[in-house]
């Protein structure tokens, strides 16, 4: 009977203490391929990230977590995004001090892109990118291809400073000129401007 339980734990990958169903030490650090080799540098960084995590009973703020896993560049930007309503946890808008838990779904809108991640590990300190991707499951839609955004207003090297007409043409291409705005020589009342 005891050997059958041991075989079940091996089959499930739960070699934890006393059949608790918890993975054994190091099993969570196996990386994307469970049986594949693990880079020793990444394994060391993952161990350091585990040490950077909260202690028993401690919590991690959402603005700190999204900064630590590199979803946002600075912690203050994370707090601003939370205050602006760009961060949702489990479908609810949250404040910067919201305590995030393992298993929460975090939706973040940043720089014109929506990121949808599931929290796998709580960390407080910012870590490297290879370690950061192991702290969440990314369910984000793919980013739009870069070819769809045509570069407007790029000038050839050595052509000099753009003239007023060139600047207005570039603004019109970028969509910065208001509709109905004429770049002609007439003033606001339609009369020619004086010098």
What residues are paired with 93 via a beta bridge? 88
What residues are paired with 87 via a beta bridge? 108
The reported pTM is 0.55
pLDDT at 182 over 80: no
Average pLDDT estimate for 27-44: 57
- Round to whole Å and give the CA distance between 30 and 140: 23
Alpha carbon distance, N-terminus to C-terminus of the chain: 101
pLDDT at residue 23 in the model: 41
pLDDT at 56 over 50: yes
Are the beta carbons of 65 and 87 closer than 8 angstroms?
Answer: no
pLDDT at residue 37 in the model: 63
Closest CA to 62 of 102, 105, 107, 95: 95
Q: 157-179 in b/e burial notation, b at 16+ Cβ within 10 A? A: eeeeeeeeeeeebbbeeeeeeee
Q: What percent of the chain has pLDDT over 70?
A: 63
Q: Which residues contact 22 (CB under 8 A, 6 or more apart)?
A: 14, 16
pLDDT tens per residue across span 134-147:
899 999 998 877 66
- Round to whole Å and give the CA distance between 107 and 96: 14
Confidence tier at 184 by pLDDT (50, 70, 90): low
Average pLDDT estimate for 72-79: 93
- Give the CA radius of gyration of the chain: 26
- Round to whole Å and give the CA distance between 121 and 133: 10
Q: How many helices (H) and strands (E) does the chain have?
A: 6, 7
pLDDT at residue 38 in the model: 67
pLDDT at residue 62 in the model: 94
């Amino acid at each position: 009977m005891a050997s059958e339980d041991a075989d079940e734990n091996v089959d499930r990958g739960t070699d934890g203490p006393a059949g608790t169903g918890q993975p054994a030490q190091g099993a969570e650090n196996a990386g994307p391929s469970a049986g594949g080799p693990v880079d020793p540098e990444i394994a060391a960084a993952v161990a350091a990230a585990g040490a950077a995590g909260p202690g028993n009973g401690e919590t991690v703020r959402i603005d700190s977590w999204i900064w630590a896993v590199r979803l946002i560049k600075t912690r203050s930007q994370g707090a601003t995004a939370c205050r602006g309503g760009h961060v949702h946890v489990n479908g609810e808008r949250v404040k910067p001090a919201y305590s995030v838990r393992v298993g929460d779904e975090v939706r973040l809108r940043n720089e014109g892109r929506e990121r949808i991640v599931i929290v796998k590990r709580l960390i407080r300190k910012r870590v490297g990118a290879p370690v950061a991707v192991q702290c969440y499951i990314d369910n984000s839609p793919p980013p739009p291809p870069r070819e769809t955004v045509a570069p407007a207003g790029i000038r050839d090297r050595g052509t000099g400073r753009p003239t007023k007409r060139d600047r207005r043409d570039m603004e019109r291409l970028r969509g910065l000129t208001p509709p109905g705005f004429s770049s002609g020589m007439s003033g606001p009342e339609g009369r020619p401007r004086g010098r």
